[in-house]
Amino acid sequence: MFLWLWVILIAAGLAPGVSRMVGSRGGWLLALVPAGVAVCLLQQWPAVVNQQNVSAAVDWVPSLHLMVSLRLDGLSLLFGLLVTGIGALVLVYAGAYLKGDERLGRLWMFLLLFMAAMLGVVLADNLLTLFIFWELTSITSYLLIGFNSDRPESRASALQALLVTGGGGLLLLPGLLLLGFAGQSFEISELLNHADQIQQHAFYGPMLVLILLGAFTKSAQFPFHFWLPDAMAAPTPISAYLHSATMVKAGVYLVARLHPVLGGTAEWFWMIAPIGTATMVLGAVLALRATDLKQILAYATISVLGTLMMLLGIGTEATLTAALVLLVAHALYKGGLFMMAGAVDHAVHQRDIRLLGGLRSVMPATCGAALLAGISMAGILPTFGFIAKETWYEAVGSQASVPYLVASVLSNIGLVAAAGMVCITPFFGRQTDAAQQAHEGGPALWGPPVVLGIAGFCLGLLPGPFSELLAAGSTAIAGQDVSVKLKLWHGVNAALLLSLLTLAGGFLLYWQRHRLAGVITATDRFMPWGPAGAYRWLLKSVNQLARGQTAILQNGYLRYYLLMMVGLTVFSVWMALGGELSSHLDPMPFDFRIHEVMLAGLILMSAVVAVRAKTWLLSVGALGIAGYAVAGIFVLFGAPDLAMTQFVIETLTVFLFVMAFSRLPDFRRLSSVHTRRRDALIAVVAGGTITMLLLFAMTVRSDHPISAYYAAHSVPEAHGRNVVNVILVDFRALDTLGEITVLSIAAIGVYSLLMLRPAARPGSTDSSGNEADDSSRGSAQRGN
Amino acid sequence: MSAQVAVILPIALPLATMAVLVLAWKSIPAQKIIGVGGSTLLLISAAALWWQVDRNDILVLQVGNWPAPFGITLVADRLSAIMVLLAGLMVFAVSVYSLVTIDDRRVEFGFHPLVQLLLMGVCGAFLTGDLFNLYVWFEVMLIASFVLLTLGGERGQLEGAIKYVTLNLISSAVFLAAIGVIYAATGTLNMADLALKLRSFPDEGIVSVLAMLFLIAFGTKAAVFPLFFWLPASYHTPPVAVSAIFAGLLTKVGVYSLIRTFTLMFVTDLDFTHNLLLLIAGLTMVTGVLGAMAQSEIRRILSFHIVSQIGYMLMGLALFTPLALAGSVFYIIHHIVVKTNLFLIGGVVERHCGTGRLAETGGLSGSAPVLATLFFLSAMSLAGIPPLSGFFAKLTLIQGGLEAERYAIVAAALGVSLLTMFSMTKIWAEVFWKPAPEEALPEACGEPHSMTDRFSLYGPILLLATFTVGIGLMAGPVMKASLATARQLLDQDAYIQAVLPNSRLPESEAGAADSNADVGPLAGQRPAAQESPQSPRGGTVE
Amino acid sequence: MDIILAITVGGLYAAGIYMMLRRSVVKLLIGLGLLSHAANLLIFTAGGVIRGRVPVVPAGEMQPLETIADPLPQALILTAIVISFAVLAFALVLIYRTCQTLGTDDLDQLKATDT
């Protein structure tokens, strides 16, 4: 089974080469790959219908419960055949559609990548594997929708589809994880045995909501449906494949797949069936509003997706089977209709049905394809679409759920009219100007839709052999054995009468569609308030929020950044200390001598002078005096080495200041009084905090510092009498190495700052450069 | 013995390379060759260190043979070894990339020696087991980064550097003050010894204060909310090679230090410290990604994303379960590779279009399809799309968050990843999809002509892109290593025992180490799971 | 004496922070200088101060005869002083060059790289 995926991936890698070497006919060559996979899938048919499921697994990340496990049952096989079968036709079709375009190779590559991802989704047994493939379909869909990347609306649609389906994916992920945690396994086949336990679990509600949101966004359910019509910006082969036949069904697939695990509860019904019904009706109504061929088809697709959800939500054996039948029928006719629309677009460069007409004579083959598919879409004998509709009505009707049945009939009436709009309007009636220059495309353009149309007829006429696969599929969805007997003719029953009613209503609606124009324009003004408008509003507001927040936070004023840091430090220190402070601050012994106090006073005074000075020279001088006074403190308390160093360094610092800023004017008063008062307050609070912290630290001072060791071992082992020096050069020599490194890097930095300039202005600054460099070299010597 | 050499080599090799570089100061070709050669050696030695640590568990080197805690101890555990390995990989990639992208004037003024010294500081910080020594390596790294940032002296560089330098110096001052206080309180500087002493420390208040001070000091280097301002102000100003190595490594030294201190030393009051970390993690994620959305220049966007992703790395630390911590480690591995690569790619884009401003770029998916593919892979990896490295990093953290029942942070992480995808697709759509603007400048540098130049430009990008795909496909082994790292981090006793073989371990009161280390991920909840803190998202969006 | 030193340290921090919050780059630099004095003095005070008692082992002895001042904070401060000098010198030249290139010493004018 892994081989199938690999083969498709390899074909994707080869696709650009094929397009360069073989040209547009390479589509036939590439189509052999999915066709071959389809044949392999068919070989599994006997095993699958006998409930012998085929599986394969490889460990990927065991600690995350991620195993690439694949499993083929009736449902997977059905989807797999659709993915590969329609995929093969689309590859051929795409070759003709983009004939001569240098991007053809890329299109094939993306299509094949998508095919592999989609096949992975339907084959995956592990929840996380399923999710991985699921995300890959979103990404390939993004790339494909934006295929005409030079058009802004393509890029916007691609982004919209990605954000909606990707956002849904991000909800799906925690949903699947919760499911896995609740069921204590991430293998779907394993979870089937724990359905009760999962439905009792506290996570059941949240996981259901999250998973369904993922499925609803992917399958374009209301209110997330708006991305699908916009996705029609993609070239038509993509619309035919991803956005009608396969990818949008992934959500339906997921709901079907998890039905035996999560389904059968009231929550399940009430969360899915109403949404599905709303989507179904809305899609049908919106389809009638549209005038663009692809838009009509897109809304009709939404309607059918809604139906599928509704059927799955109702969740009886009959509705589950009906969903499966409808799904196959829809994939066949809608894929064909999209390809037909593409062929028309390709020939006429026009998709607006108001400007199309009379194409029958110039494009007979395409017209034939359209009719084949259209009959199935309208649900007329003897197509598979007819069987689908019969089964659907029967299944919903047997539940005696009248609202759902009425909604179904109404939406189907709309779809019949829509079928007329796409299959009859462009081909019959008066030939328009645009249609006159048109001519039929090659067989690769009309062949694939004809094949799909004929397939719909064949399945309609001979549904027998197919029933057993549908039975296997329904069994997988229902979680128990289901037998399916499809027949084209059921005799005259309620479902048939409803079908006739639908057809009659649909034809009437199509006939009188111009009368709807007034209604349509009347509803136009509500459109900005729809979900699409909400999406745009949300996008705009998040962007505004981002800009606003960033303008406030990253405002460019260094002093605000500093204020934030200082404030945070003070705040967090007080928060951490909490109320414990008072109990710790015992009165300390007031043991001091007058010269010490004077020295400390000198430090404080020079700090004040440095702050209040009006000229920079005075300020720097005060800084120097403070430094010397600190050196004095060092002398008094047994640190003469420190004092020496401090003295030298301080002198150098003052010297550097004088060198650098000698030409600078005096300080200007830049801040307002208010600002200065505020800053002073903050500074004093910060300083006070440090004092408190220091006093606090001294009350808990350790009695056994490691330095006792240094005093004891300095002479005997390190052979030095000055313990501080011994620490520097021996016990903690690595620190000193780092210190020297810092000095030398600073020297390089000073040198490069002064000498390396973008716009060289030689001469004027050389002297100061040398001096600054000298001074740091001087200090480097002390460091040694 | 060889194991001990492996510990010191990542510090000694860059120093030695620097010495050789100084001898060959005048020759630009020699600078380039020696620079790349030194980086290669560093990469090899880092790989050797990883190999040794993987075999021998924790490696300890008492420098000068002074017994711990009296001398300086170098410690290489799994986390250190992973970080050093990543640093080696990044400096190798960036050195090769710099061959064409760094102009001769900058080479003349010591670009290559500075890179080596930067790495010396970075590796020193990863390997030291001594708090003050960590400060020294921080300073080595900082001053080297200051000089690299300003090398060239362009206007933007100087402006950005003032903020970068000032804010980092403040954080150094806080760090130094914290060291002073912690030494006063415990009388030791060795981290293992500190862990031991803080465990039975009588006064909880002072421990909390110290935790806060270190949080602020390291948090500034790691660029967490609200201490990140220096990063977006400066990272886009120097040459791309410098931005790339900064983006890959510098903030991660801060994250590493946070992980080290908040798994080893400050684990006695998890409710306070780690809940606070969780709040910070959430706010950092959200503010960072919103910042990125507001930008319209490639490197500025990427810079804000660094901030956002630091939040993810802290998330695992804050959750403090083996799985979540493994998620942090995985995230770091992923992030360093991908973020560096995105900067490198951004540099090539700037060469093509003459600018990184999105409005003035365009059309590269047609004219540079290989670059487009490499960018798309890296960008999607950053956004957490499977099967690339970012997905597994995110998945691990989310699983960890769900297991710990911290739903708010999970929601934040997921929401932010959607916004990350948004801003990655923004770059993609503007630079690669959009047609080149009409009044486009003639290509600034365009493609380098010679084969070796092309290799030097694209080789590192290709290498790192391979890594992001490879980490994804090989996520099993990487995850195994991350989990082993996480378990080792949570087993404080083993670390202490390795550094101080003679210490008597009191019964672990924190209990986090032993009780969690062996519990499987499914059940690995934190011992005292508290109700989640106020929603980190709600706080910022308001 | 501890209390007085602690107050001095707090005062130095306050002065340094206030100076750094000003708009003039030179004041910023002076603030940095004050802050580094403050940090050094903080370590010194926190480590415990004893009058006299230089940490030197008298000639002929193997160990100091009486309690000496803690040598480790002194060693740390020595390293820190040199490092902060190196950094300060670099910052000084950086600011000098910035003033020269941009023609202003007002930090509020330096916002181009943020927005």
Q: Which residue of C has its CA nearest to B154?
A: C101
What's the average model confidence in pLDDT over A332-339?
Answer: 92
Beta-carbon count within 10 A of B359 CB: 11
Residue A213 has pLDDT above 80, yes or no: yes
Residue C1 has pLDDT above 60, yes or no: yes
Question: Domain limits of chain C?
Answer: 2-51+71-106
ipTM of the complex: 0.94
Over the stretch A364-379, which tens digit does the pLDDT of each residue have?
888 999 999 999 998 8
Q: Which of A131-135, B196-200, B486-490 has the lowest mean pLDDT?
A: B196-200
Question: Which pLDDT score, from 0 to 100, does residue A774 have?
Answer: 38
pLDDT class of B536 with cuts at 50, 70, 90: very low
Residue B510 has pLDDT above 80, yes or no: no
Q: Number of residue pairs across A and C with CB atoms under 8 Å?
A: 295
DSSP per-residue codes, A243-263: IIISGGGHHHHHHHHHHHHH-
B345: helix, coil or strand?
helix
Residue A424 has pLDDT above 70, yes or no: yes
Do residues B327 and B390 make contact, with C-beta atoms less than 8 angstroms apart?
no
Query: B214 vs chain C: nearest CA distance in angstroms?
Result: 15
C2 — contact with chain A (CB < 8 Å)? yes
What's the average model confidence in pLDDT over B427-437?
Answer: 90
Do residues A101 and A12 make contact, with C-beta atoms less than 8 angstroms apart?
no
Question: Which pLDDT score, from 0 to 100, does residue A6 have?
Answer: 93
What's the average model confidence in pLDDT over B110-124?
Answer: 94
Q: Which residue has the higher pLDDT, A768 or A646?
A: A646
The share of chain A scoring above pLDDT 90, in percent, equals 47
Do residues B42 and B94 make contact, with C-beta atoms less than 8 angstroms apart?
no
Rounded Cα–Cα distance for residues A456 and A446 (Å):
16
Do residues A78 and A324 make contact, with C-beta atoms less than 8 angstroms apart?
yes
Q: Which residues pair with A72 in a beta bridge?
A: A54
Judge residue A582's burial from the number of C-beta atoms within 10 Å of its C-beta, 0-12 exposed, 13-18 middle, 19 or more buried. exposed
What's the average model confidence in pLDDT over A458-486?
Answer: 86
Question: Which pLDDT score, from 0 to 100, does residue B475 have?
Answer: 92
CB atoms A557 and C83 under 8 Å: no
Contacts of A779 in chain B (CB under 8 A): none
What's the average model confidence in pLDDT over B321-334?
Answer: 96
Q: Which residue of A has its CA nearest to C1?
A: A592
Over the stretch C4-56, which tens digit does the pLDDT of each residue have?
899 999 999 999 999 999 888 888 999 999 999 999 999 998 887 777 777 88
Q: Which residues pair with B357 in a beta bridge?
A: B297
Q: Which of A88-97, A681-690, A719-728 has the lowest mean pLDDT?
A: A719-728
C79 — contact with chain A (CB < 8 Å)? yes
Tokens of B110: 């010591």
C112 — contact with chain B (CB < 8 Å)? yes
Domain containing B357 equals: 2-541
What's the average model confidence in pLDDT over A541-558?
Answer: 89
Rounded Cα–Cα distance for residues A356 and B409 (Å):
55
CB atoms C43 and B179 under 8 Å: yes
Rounded Cα–Cα distance for residues A561 and B230 (Å):
8
Residue A723 has pLDDT above 60, yes or no: yes
pLDDT class of A313 with cuts at 50, 70, 90: very high
Q: Which of A427-431, A630-634, B73-77 has the lowest mean pLDDT?
A: A427-431
Over the stretch A487-536, which tens digit does the pLDDT of each residue have?
777 777 888 888 889 999 999 888 887 777 777 777 777 776 788 888 88
Query: B109 vs chain A: nearest CA distance in angstroms?
Result: 6
Residue B503 has pLDDT above 90, yes or no: no
Contacts of B291 in chain A (CB under 8 A): 546, 549-550, 553-554
Query: C103 vs chain A: nearest CA distance in angstroms?
Result: 11
Residue B141 has pLDDT above 80, yes or no: yes
Rounded Cα–Cα distance for residues C87 and A746 (Å):
7
Query: C50 vs chain B: nearest CA distance in angstroms?
Result: 14
Question: Which pLDDT score, from 0 to 100, does residue C105 have?
Answer: 77
CB atoms C32 and B161 under 8 Å: no
A620: helix, coil or strand?
helix
CB atoms C15 and A701 under 8 Å: no
Residue B388 has pLDDT above 70, yes or no: yes
What's the average model confidence in pLDDT over A537-554?
Answer: 90
Task: Write the residue in B64, B152, B170 that is nearest to A733 by C-beta.
Answer: B64
pLDDT class of B511 with cuts at 50, 70, 90: very low
Do residues A68 and A126 make contact, with C-beta atoms less than 8 angstroms apart?
yes
Question: Domain limits of chain A?
Answer: 264-511, 592-668, 732-784
pLDDT class of A759 with cuts at 50, 70, 90: low
Q: Which residue of B has its CA nearest to A759?
A: B154
Question: Which pLDDT score, from 0 to 100, does residue A512 have?
Answer: 83
Q: Choose the CATH number for C2-51+71-106 among 1.10.287, 3.40.50, 1.10.600, 1.20.5.
A: 1.10.287
DSSP per-residue codes, A19-42: HHHHGGGHHHHHHHHHHHHHHHHH
Query: A141 vs chain B: nearest CA distance in angstroms?
Result: 13
What's the average model confidence in pLDDT over A387-404?
Answer: 86
Q: Which residue of B has its CA nearest to C36?
A: B173
Contacts of C18 in chain A (CB under 8 A): 611, 679-680, 683
Residue B520 has pLDDT above 80, yes or no: no
Q: Which residue of A has its CA nearest to B175?
A: A569
Do residues A420 and A506 make contact, with C-beta atoms less than 8 angstroms apart?
yes
A126: helix, coil or strand?
strand
Q: Which residue of B has its CA nearest to A173?
A: B395
Question: Which pLDDT score, from 0 to 100, does residue A397 have?
Answer: 85
pLDDT class of B478 with cuts at 50, 70, 90: very high
What's the average model confidence in pLDDT over B405-423?
Answer: 94
Contacts of A33 (CB under 8 A, 6+ apart): A7, A8, A11, A88, A112
Do residues B82 and B50 make contact, with C-beta atoms less than 8 angstroms apart?
yes
Over the stretch A48-102, which tens digit does the pLDDT of each residue have?
888 887 888 899 998 899 999 999 999 999 999 999 999 999 999 999 898 888 8
Question: Which pLDDT score, from 0 to 100, does residue C98 have?
Answer: 86
Partners of chain C (3+ Cβ pairs below 8 A): A, B
CB atoms C57 and A750 under 8 Å: no
C45 — contact with chain A (CB < 8 Å)? yes
C33 — contact with chain A (CB < 8 Å)? yes
Tokens of A528: 């900005």
pLDDT class of A429 with cuts at 50, 70, 90: confident
The domain tally of chain B equals 1
CB atoms B188 and A181 under 8 Å: no
A614: helix, coil or strand?
coil
CB atoms B136 and C83 under 8 Å: yes
What's the average model confidence in pLDDT over A257-281?
Answer: 93
* Alpha-carbon separation of residue B377 from A651, B263, B334 (angstroms): 56, 33, 13
Question: Which pLDDT score, from 0 to 100, does residue A589 have?
Answer: 62
**pTM beyond 0.80, yes or no:** yes
- Dihedral over alpha carbons A381, A387, A392, A393 (to 10 degrees): 40
Helix runs in B223-321, H state only: 230-234, 240-245, 251-264, 270-293, 298-319
CB atoms C13 and A682 under 8 Å: no
Contacts of B108 in chain A (CB under 8 A): 756
Query: C17 vs chain A: nearest CA distance in angstroms?
Result: 6
Question: Which pLDDT score, from 0 to 100, does residue A413 have?
Answer: 92
Q: Choose, out of A170, A210, A696, A765, the residue to mutate when testing the contact with B (most B CBs < 10 Å).
A: A170
Contacts of C77 in chain A (CB under 8 A): 639, 642
